[in-house]
Chain A
């Protein structure tokens, strides 16, 4: 890997670097959603994104996620929209974002005169935030400074043969370049726990990995459904562990350096597993109600780019970080070519090797980090979901790298 590969990034006050300079408009309860959406629509800018949390009841996880995504390196400024009576601690969120060196403003609908008045004030606030964000210094960013997350959605029987192992090849190259790579969905790694634990850099981490998959299995058992959608079966997958083995190949073959939870930022280059299943007895329903709930957790862990593999054909993108779509199934690719960045299905047709597609994915990462819009980004996909969850902090065995450093 050429260690001189670099791209122009936005330098944030905390030293982290962003490959985008997004302004987020965040509703702090569903009651402020419409006003926030109208502000984003009026701004009519591909780099002004709508995010938010719908709940009125307090939740520490939701607060930490909002703080993490509003202070993500791809974010240049934030406008918070509150109704006024919800539980989200808006003043603390505002001061946390400002403390990160970003411009941030807050509008409270109940104090701002209602819907029209808040939309008008919000549009003006976005313009001010954009002007401030445009002043941020641009600096070179190197491959080893990237954090890349991966997820699969709409998997089928081809995912584990083409797109997922090709992402694994790309991850191996990125980890070799000392970048940070994150894979996730412990509920979709059920059946892989022992082979995964064997890749941990310490025995203690291996124990933690097995425990977190056991936790996921218990959680999904209580829910009554595995993380397995009808489309998975249509596409030839029969069992959760079969889906898991395919999903697992996204991680590549590097040693696993740590186990993190949503909002934890990996301390050094390497491969990390993100535990997305809540701790304690199941309280708030399914761990991740759809793919974007996982994507935003990868972003909260610092991911600047997301690699999304799909067999059946997902079309989603995300707010904040660009999503690169890698299609596993050649028939799906032909149907949905306009939504896909990479056709890994060509491997099945003998037209490319896993290594070649892995290199193509890596080149896409470099291009998107350099400013090229991914296809979902160009199409305006900016999905965002945040729901209720509860997590305990990670245990001492989860990040051996931190102790070594």
Chain B
């Protein structure tokens, strides 16, 4: 099989502030985000999100051009955006070991 040189991150919509990983990224890999090379601090799996820009707590997160929740902590450009720093604006998500504590404001 020939090696494909596809970018590991894709932008789904011009208004998005996250990128989606489509090819496994390993900690230490160099990734290009908005004309800047960033060294990924951790492994990022296919389907996971990284910040396209530096985001602040309270910022809405956009994917497909639509809001999919809000940041609860700031995140640096190129870093992982997931349950540790982001929450639903509707119903809290849960994992096998815990129910995410962030409650959306009623």
The answer to whether A158 and B47 have CB atoms under 8 Å apart is yes
Contact of B4 among A156, A220, A225, A349 (CB under 8 A): A349
Bits for A276-294, please: 1 = Cβ < 8 Å to B, else 0: 0000000000000000000
- Shortest CB distance A201–B (Å): 22
The answer to whether B64 and A158 have CB atoms under 8 Å apart is no
The answer to whether B96 and A230 have CB atoms under 8 Å apart is yes
Tell whether A195 is near chain B: CB-to-CB under 8 Å.
Answer: yes
In the complex, which range does the number of interface residues on chain B fall in?
Answer: 35 or more
Complex Cα distance A330/B45, Å?
A: 12
Complex Cα distance A221/B88, Å?
A: 13
Return the chain B residue nearest A160 by Cβ.
Answer: B64
Bits for A224-252, please: 1 = Cβ < 8 Å to B, else 0: 11101010110111111110011001000
The answer to whether A241 and B93 have CB atoms under 8 Å apart is no
Contact of A241 among B4, B45, B81, B89 (CB under 8 A): B89
Interface of B is mostly: loop
- Shortest CB distance A55–B (Å): 28
Contact of A161 among B4, B20, B92 (CB under 8 A): B20
Bits for A149-165, please: 1 = Cβ < 8 Å to B, else 0: 00000001111110000
The answer to whether B6 and A240 have CB atoms under 8 Å apart is no
Bits for B44-75, please: 1 = Cβ < 8 Å to A, else 0: 01111100000000000101101111000000
In the complex, which range does the number of interface residues on chain A fall in?
Answer: 35 or more
Question: Given A157-B47, A233-B83, A349-B4, A242–B21 Cβ distance below 8 Å?
Answer: no
Return the chain B residue nearest A157 by Cβ.
Answer: B47
- Shortest CB distance B15–A (Å): 13
- Shortest CB distance B22–A (Å): 4
Tell whether A329 is near chain B: CB-to-CB under 8 Å.
Answer: yes
Please give, as numbers and ranges, the residues of chain A lying within 8 Å of B89 by CB-CB distance.
191, 239, 241
Question: Given A238-B81, A331-B46, A220–B64 Cβ distance below 8 Å?
Answer: no
The answer to whether B68 and A191 have CB atoms under 8 Å apart is yes
Return the chain B residue nearest A347 by Cβ.
Answer: B22
The answer to whether A241 and B49 have CB atoms under 8 Å apart is no
Complex Cα distance A368/B43, Å?
A: 40
3 residue pairs, one from A and one from B, having the closest CB atoms: A157-B47, A236-B47, A236-B48
